[in-house]
């Protein structure tokens, strides 16, 4: 049951995170939290850095969701090999993306690193989307028996 909804939830949260990241970049508030991992007031949000605070909080949530999705996909005996591979790549990409986010801060928004952050975000999105497509195919096969490979 969790396997049927978790990848969709992960994709939705990740999609919102990419929007928030774009807003962080476009509005120039990327260094409003100049340290890593926490913002100046620790876990407490503040209006001076609220957008970057939200970006980091949603990134942490996304990381947990992507890793939980991988765990459920790997545990299930019904999931195809391609779905397992996509979810493993997604988990690797989310860990890399969070680490890269830290480097982006430490290196004060170096343009190459920010571009790599966008690129790896797209790889991550593609892998989570692929996991969802596999799930959709699995669900369609079990509910509509006429659908085959
Ligand atoms: C799953 C995790 C993450 C995803 C998918 C993600 C995605 C994105 C995206 C799509 C952008 C916009 C890039 C652009 O428009 O060129 C962005 C910007 C940014 N992200 Fe992330 N991000 C993640 C985690 C993090 C973390 C953990 C940090 C810092 C600790 C971080 C720091 C930043 C900063 C500072 C910017 C703005 C860069 C600038 O000002 O140009 N990100 N993120």
Q: Which stretches in the chain have pLDDT values below 50?
A: none
Q: What is the pLDDT of residue 148?
A: 55
List the residue whose alpha carbon is closest to atom 5 of ligand 1: 121
Q: What is the pLDDT of residue 128?
A: 98
Q: What is the pLDDT of residue 142?
A: 75
Parse the chain into domains and list their residue ranges. Answer: 2-140
Tokens of 49: 């850095």
Rounded to two decimals, the pTM is 0.94
Among 16, 59, 127, residue to substitute to test ligand 1 (most atoms within 8 Å of Cβ): 59
List the residue whose alpha carbon is closest to atom 39 of ligand 1: 25
pLDDT in tens, 26-54: 999 999 999 999 999 999 999 999 999 99
* Contact call for residues 101 and 57 (beta carbons, < 8 A): no
Q: Return d(Cα 101, Cα 56) in angstroms, integer.
A: 9
Give residue 77 CA to ligand 1 midpoint distance, Å.
35
Binning the chain into helix, strand and coil, the percentages to the nearest 5 are 75, 0, 25
Q: What is the pLDDT of residue 149?
A: 52
Give residue 70 CA to ligand 1 midpoint distance, Å.
22
Give residue 39 CA to ligand 1 midpoint distance, Å.
15
Q: Return d(Cα 114, Cα 25) in angstroms, integer.
A: 9
């Amino acid at each position: 049951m969790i396997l049927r909804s978790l990848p969709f939830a992960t994709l939705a949260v990740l999609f919102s995170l990419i929007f928030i990241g774009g807003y962080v970049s476009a509005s120039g508030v990327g260094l409003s939290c100049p340290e890593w991992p926490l913002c100046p007031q620790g876990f407490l949000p503040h209006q001076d850095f609220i957008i970057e605070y939200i970006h980091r909080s949603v990134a942490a949530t996304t990381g947990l969701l992507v890793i939980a999705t991988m765990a459920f996909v790997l545990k299930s005996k019904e999931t195809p090999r391609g779905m397992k591979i996509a979810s493993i790549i997604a988990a690797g990409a989310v860990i890399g993306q969070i680490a890269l986010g830290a480097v982006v801060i430490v290196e004060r928004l170096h343009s190459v690193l920010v571009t790599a952050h966008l690129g790896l975000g797209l790889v991550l999105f593609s892998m989570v989307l692929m996991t969802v497509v596999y799930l959709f195919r699995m669900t369609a096969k079990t509910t509509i028996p006429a659908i085959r490979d």
